[in-house]
Structure 1
Amino acid sequence: MRRERKTFRAIEVGDGSDGRWAAHARGLWPQVEDLLTEEGRTPEGADRVRALFGAHMPELVPVLDRLTGQLDRPGAGAFLTHAALRPFSQGCTQIGGDGALLRNYDLRPDQCEGTIASSCFLRPVIGMQDLLWGLLDGMNDAGLAISLTWGGRPARGRGFAVLVVVRYLLETCDTVDEAVGRLRSLPVAVPQNLTLVDPTKAVTVFLGPDIPLTVAPDACAANHQHLPVSDEQERALRTQERLRAIRVAGADVAAMLEPPLYRSVDEQGSRTLYTAHYRSVEGRVTYYWPGESWQQSFGDFTPGSRAVTLGRTR
């Protein structure tokens, strides 16, 4: 199997007002600005997505304005709403329970920001940041942890990229029940699955522009929902196989680092980029790669970088 290196970084950005977040985001802007839709580049489109953001995430509007001003790039305000971005999909397998959340994130290495961010926009949050301030997974100081997987269907509608939804929930919610309640009225642009964990509860929910929020039978997910999976989709993603495997393995880090949960590079270049194990009750997360790990916590967050080798040696 072809192996390659990827650098992951850990940064502290505070509340976004002191220039640390902006310095990081400006460096990434040339790589991500093309994800902004043509509609989002127009004044009317920017106004529309700003209004959508204000209607559904009012608590984050001051943060949105602060970050937009700090980034200071054309189209930044519309981009940061995550409501005018081109659709994208990612793999992933995840499971929650007993105050812990375990997940594999699968994508092409060049399409993942690879930034572990400690922030305090509204409250302390640590997570794997992507698209400047969205989160692929994360936890807050109340012990709530959330991660996402793509729902596996091509449906598309008006709404938010799920990364900013994860950010919003972690910034404003204390419990799984509170977060699920908010999700019922949040529009998402493409089908997504979220697994949510707090000290006493774990649940997976299916979201999409064409379905109401649907609670999964257990707190784990791969890349399908409650609808049938085609043979073609299963051959490409092995989503049912991975879901069966994680149900058998449970929250076992070692199993996540082995096939079929740990995925080798596919025809599109996607592969498992990292494993994250959130113990949100303790305020700790450990990121794993074959033969290497990196722990961060609210009590001991260490900025820095790690160049890791992707893929297994056997």
Structure 2
Amino acid sequence: MSHYVKTFHAIEIGDGGDGRWAEHVRPAMVGAEDWLTEEGRTPEGATRARRLFEEHMPELVAPLDRLAGQLTSPRARTFLTMAAVRPFFSGCTQIGREGALLRNYDFAPEHCEGTIVSSRFLLPVIGMQEAGWGLLDGMNNAGLAVSLTFGGRFVHGRGFAMPMVLRYLLETCRTVDEALDRLRTIPVAIPQNVTLVDPGRTVTVHVGPDIPLTETPDRCASNHQHLPVSDEQERATRTRTRLAAAQAAGIDVTAMLRPPLYQCAYDEWLGTVYTAHYRPAEGRVAYHWPGESWEHSFAGFSPGSRTVTLGLAEGSGDR
């Protein structure tokens, strides 16, 4: 098993207009246009992405333009719509219960931005940033928290990458029901599972370019949807094993930090990069790693950096 050392950053960016966001993301944006689809690199594709964004996320057009205007790449505006990016696939396990959201994000550490951001575009939001201003998970000060996992099916259609959708939901919605109403109307590019939590309700849904939004009977998700999981897929991802473990454990950070929920297949892009525990009614989140944690809140956000070691000690049952 490989161990990785990774530095996470926490930054406050306000509405994105004072340069703090741009200073932080400019290095990460070098080569970001490589993530655009072939169509997205054409003038016609850029126009289609912009129109899709204006149609489905009109409230965020002004913030998009404010951010893109601080970047030098001529394709930055298209990239930040996240409506013309190539698909990327990750692992992840998540569960919501009793007003809390707990998740493991599993990916290749070097390809995870690792930036915890406190922002105020439309609503105050704290979350794990990805792809410029998208979110892998997060919460707003109205008490709503959301997170994503890959749905396990390799299909791709026209629509948004889910980190942009999560950003939009947290900027414009205050409850699970309101977020579900919006999510039903937004096209998404690849199959994703989304868990949504507010003080009164927890829901996990399956979405994708080829299926309608479908609520699941339980409140957790790993990396499969409505189709049977093949033996090959289970051997590679242990998605059924992880889902059963999450269901049995409930909101238990300790369980998330040990196998089978904590994964160490980093060289296969399936290692746990961080564990996030959101308590949105309290406006608090704690990010966990083996032997380390970092807590933030709307009342006490802590800018800075933490360098952590990913992976478990030998003999702890990791694969």
Superposed pair shares fold, TM > 0.5: yes
What is the aligned residue count?
A: 314
Rounded Cα–Cα distance in structure 2 between residues aligned with 1:32 and 1:77: 11
Q: Deviations over 1:114-165 (max 9, x none)?
A: 0000000111000000001000000000000000000000111000000000
Q: Deviations over 1:66-103 (max 9, x none)?
A: 11112232101110000111100010000001111000
Q: State the one-letter code of the partner of 2:187.
A: P
For the structure 1 residues 31 and 302, does the alpha-carbon distance in structure 2 shift closer, same or farther, using more than 3 Å as the test? farther
Range moving further from structure 2, 221-230 or 142-151: 221-230
Rounded Cα–Cα distance in structure 2 between residues aligned with 1:73 and 1:267: 31
Q: State the one-letter code of the partner of 2:241.
A: E
Aligned residues of 1:204 and 1:218 also touching (Cα < 8 A): yes
User: 1:62, CA displacement in angstroms?
Assistant: 0.8
For the structure 1 residues 75 and 100, does the alpha-carbon distance in structure 2 shift closer, same or farther, using more than 3 Å as the test? same
User: 1:33, CA displacement in angstroms?
Assistant: 2.5
Q: Secondary structure at the match of 2:282?
A: coil
User: 1:270, CA displacement in angstroms?
Assistant: 2.8
For residues 83-162 of structure 1, the aligned pairs below 5 Å read 83-162=83-162
Rounded Cα–Cα distance in structure 1 between residues aligned with 2:103 and 2:31: 26
> Structure 1 stretches (4+) deviating beyond 4 angstroms?
none
User: 1:60, CA displacement in angstroms?
Assistant: 0.6
Aligned residues of 1:91 and 1:237 also touching (Cα < 8 A): yes
Rounded Cα–Cα distance in structure 2 between residues aligned with 1:4 and 1:49: 36
Equivalent position of 1:54 in the other structure: 54
Q: Is 2:75 the partner of 1:71?
A: no
Rounded Cα–Cα distance in structure 2 between residues aligned with 1:33 and 1:291: 36
Q: Is 2:188 the partner of 1:188?
A: yes
Equivalent position of 1:313 in the other structure: 313
Aligned residues of 2:134 and 2:164 also touching (Cα < 8 A): yes
User: 1:231, CA displacement in angstroms?
Assistant: 1.1
Q: Secondary structure at the match of 1:129?
A: strand
TM-score by length of 2: 0.97
Q: State the one-letter code of the partner of 1:65.
A: D
Equivalent position of 1:197 in the other structure: 197
Range moving further from structure 2, 247-256 or 21-30: 21-30
Rounded Cα–Cα distance in structure 1 between residues aligned with 2:146 and 2:270: 22
Rounded Cα–Cα distance in structure 1 between residues aligned with 2:40 and 2:121: 24
Q: State the one-letter code of the partner of 1:213.
A: L
Tell me how large the CA RMSD over aligned residues is. 0.9
Unaligned 5+ segments in structure 1 are none
For the structure 1 residues 266 and 70, does the alpha-carbon distance in structure 2 shift closer, same or farther, using more than 3 Å as the test? closer
For the structure 1 residues 305 and 267, does the alpha-carbon distance in structure 2 shift closer, same or farther, using more than 3 Å as the test? closer
User: 1:269, CA displacement in angstroms?
Assistant: 4.1
Rounded Cα–Cα distance in structure 2 between residues aligned with 1:142 and 1:97: 18
Aligned residues of 2:25 and 2:132 also touching (Cα < 8 A): yes
Rounded Cα–Cα distance in structure 2 between residues aligned with 1:246 and 1:269: 20
Aligned residues of 1:92 and 1:105 also touching (Cα < 8 A): yes
For the structure 1 residues 6 and 267, does the alpha-carbon distance in structure 2 shift closer, same or farther, using more than 3 Å as the test? closer
Equivalent position of 1:257 in the other structure: 257
User: 1:213, CA displacement in angstroms?
Assistant: 0.4
Aligned residues of 1:176 and 1:203 also touching (Cα < 8 A): yes
Q: Secondary structure at the match of 2:69?
A: helix
Equivalent position of 2:240 in the other structure: 240
Rounded Cα–Cα distance in structure 2 between residues aligned with 1:42 and 1:105: 33
Aligned residues of 1:156 and 1:209 also touching (Cα < 8 A): yes
Rounded Cα–Cα distance in structure 1 between residues aligned with 2:81 and 2:61: 9
User: 1:25, CA displacement in angstroms?
Assistant: 1.6
Equivalent position of 2:317 in the other structure: none
Aligned residues of 1:41 and 1:75 also touching (Cα < 8 A): yes
Rounded Cα–Cα distance in structure 2 between residues aligned with 1:110 and 1:31: 14
TM-score by length of 1: 0.98
Q: State the one-letter code of the partner of 2:117.
A: A
Aligned residues of 1:25 and 1:71 also touching (Cα < 8 A): no
Rounded Cα–Cα distance in structure 1 between residues aligned with 2:138 and 2:217: 23
Rounded Cα–Cα distance in structure 2 between residues aligned with 1:55 and 1:32: 24
Rounded Cα–Cα distance in structure 2 between residues aligned with 1:42 and 1:8: 34
Unaligned 5+ segments in structure 2 are 315-319
User: 1:267, CA displacement in angstroms?
Assistant: 4.9
Q: Secondary structure at the match of 2:146?
A: strand
Q: State the one-letter code of the partner of 2:54.
A: G
